[in-house]
Amino acid sequence: MASRDVNRPNVLVVLTDDQGPWAMGHRNRDLITPTIDELVAGGTELDRFFCASPVCSPARASLLTGRMPSAHGVHDWIRGEAYGVRDEDSYLSGLTNTPEVLAAAGWECGHSGKWHLGTSRNPAPGFDFWYSHRTGDGRYFGAPVWRDEQPVAEPRYLTEAITEEAIGFLERNAGSDRPFYLQVNYTAPHSPWVDQHPARYTDPYNGCTFASCPREEPHRWFSWEPGPVSDAMRDPIPSLLGYFASLTAVDAGVRQVLDLLDRTGLRESTCVVYTSDNGFSCGHHGVWGKGNATWPLNMWENSVRVPFAVSMPGRIPAGRVDSGLTSACDLHPTILELAGVAAPEDPLAAGRSILPRLLGEEAGGEEAVVVFDEYGGTRMVRTGEWKYVVRHGDGPEELYHLADDPDERENRATEPGRAGVRDELAGVLHDWFARHNAAERDAFARPVSGRGQVSPLWRGRSDAETYASAAGERCSGPENGVPEHVGGTTA
């Protein structure tokens, strides 16, 4: 079954949805995730790993392509059929991505769970196996999925269904000697949270007050749109129970997959990556949500940092924490180098392989290392000491001295004594994005509303047509027709 050659390894990527960097069992005293804690302890953790955009679809596209949103063209979460969009595009068409490259080199590629990069009716290029959620979020029982190209309601609890389909892929390929690439894309811990999870996952939290999550006054930028996030801000305990229970369910699924790898003797030849698409706050900084939890859109640490751990016994050192700044765009070239497969030339690639760091051959130092993020007309550059955020037009600038102010409470952008730092970082940011964008896909002058990408920008539709309705919905409040289960800015 699959590859037993550590130089031509299997790759398992476990991707959660909306998991904040604080929401890891070894960092959070309330969270019950023994398997993931074990995975972290048995491998290398990158504790300053940054998504490319603090919302799901653009972040996922960057993980798979190594490009920033202004180079791959996905600028916001994709509305899809939950909003009545039919015949969706495949947003990665024409772009080099991880499963396509590996498939061409002989890997069997499987996907189980959330895709949210355009149509998910049929397998995306490169995939031999495909079990996909139809939309970007939704309920955990009766979830919308595709089965044999037919839209159906999944009768199983969704997290367990995603796990079972992933295991089925592995078991059905028991006779193959081809290495596999399998991505297990859970929708957890995404909303909805309340009354969504079986008692076997919620009961362990009975009586928990979730003191690990702050109860701050709502930030003045918080978007009070109707839906799960505003409900959670008003009454956090029921939503925290669901958020934490959903991660315990993910932990149980990861246990099942790892046990199968152990039983079949594949654990040492399989690289396991655990990460999330974007970060999340559950009351932190006075918000519930991620980059679109506020208006203007935010780039706070809990929105742009995500958990990241990688394990491969015998090849990747155990018990290491690498605190170097790392971009999600680095995952694509890193997986390809680990597999011994050359990454195709891409002049707009924003990532570089960090395999030497994962193998313990190179330290993750901070000297001259910066990471970048973008969300429509909001862009960020971060060094080990500073973070600078600029917004297109007249939106507020932000400058935080993270060494003294890790919680980003004191905006120093307008302080005269910080003008030199601000201007230097602004120059770094603008120069870098000028080298890592495609003009027809550049997001900066096309500010999104945080309410979903309407269509690809390169189809010839004018910016005004593309964004007018979305911006109008942002301003129109509750009467905007947003499905109740999505809750506006949560997708």
Residue-level pLDDT at 366: 52
The total number of structural domains that make up the chain: 1
Q: What is the model's pLDDT at position 248? A: 98
CA gap 488, 358 in Å, rounded = 38
The radius of gyration of the chain's CA atoms, rounded to the nearest angstrom, is 21
Among 151, 150, 90, 149, CA closest to 125 = 90
* 395, part of any domain: no
**Which residue positions in the chain have pLDDT lower than 70?**
1, 82-87, 364-369, 455-491
Q: How far apart are the C-alpha atoms of 123 and 108, rounded to whole Å?
A: 13
Closest CA to 381 of 393, 392, 369: 369
Three-state DSSP at 182 gives strand
Neighbouring residues of 124: CB distance < 8 A, sequence distance ≥ 6:
90, 92, 99, 111, 115, 117, 130
Domain presence at residue 78 = yes
Q: What angle do CA 184, 186, 189 make, to 5 degrees?
A: 150
Here the tokens at position 444 are 């900066």
Beta strand spans in 4-57 (E): 10-16, 44-46, 49-50
Cα–Cα distance between 418 and 413 in angstroms, integer?
7
Q: Are 60 and 275 in contact (CB under 8 A)?
A: no
Q: How far is 385 from 401, CA to CA, in rounded Å?
A: 6
Is residue 434 domain-resident? Answer: no
pLDDT at 86: 61
pLDDT 10s digits, 272-299: 999 999 999 999 999 999 999 999 999 9
Residue 14 domain flag: yes
User: Do residues 375 and 358 lie in contact, with contact meaning Cβ atoms separated by under 8 Å?
Assistant: no
pLDDT digits (tens, 9 = 90+) for 220-270: 999 999 999 999 999 999 999 999 999 999 999 999 999 999 999 999 999
Q: CATH number, domain at 253?
A: 3.40.720.10
Is residue 330 within 8 A of residue 354, CB to CB? The reply is yes
Amino acid letter at 59?
Answer: A
Mapped onto helix, strand or coil, the DSSP state of residue 46 is strand
What are the DSSP E strand ranges found in 141-240? 143-147, 150-154, 180-185
- Specify if 349 maps to a domain: yes
Range of the domain at 186: 10-358
Of 275, 211, 216, 274, the C-alpha closest to 244 is: 211
8 Å CB contact between 400 and 299: no
User: Among residues 332, 300, 324, 309, which one has the least CA distance to residue 62?
Assistant: 332
Query: What is the separation, in whole angstroms, between the first and last Cα of the chain?
Result: 37
CA dist., res. 248 & res. 37, Å (int): 11
Q: Is residue 485 part of a domain?
A: no
- Cβ–Cβ under 8 Å, residues 333 and 356: no
In a domain, 155, yes or no: yes
Identify whether 316 is part of a domain.
yes
3-class state of residue 491 by DSSP: coil
Helix-helix angle 56-65:331-339, to 10 degrees: 30
Strands 371-375 and 108-113: unpaired
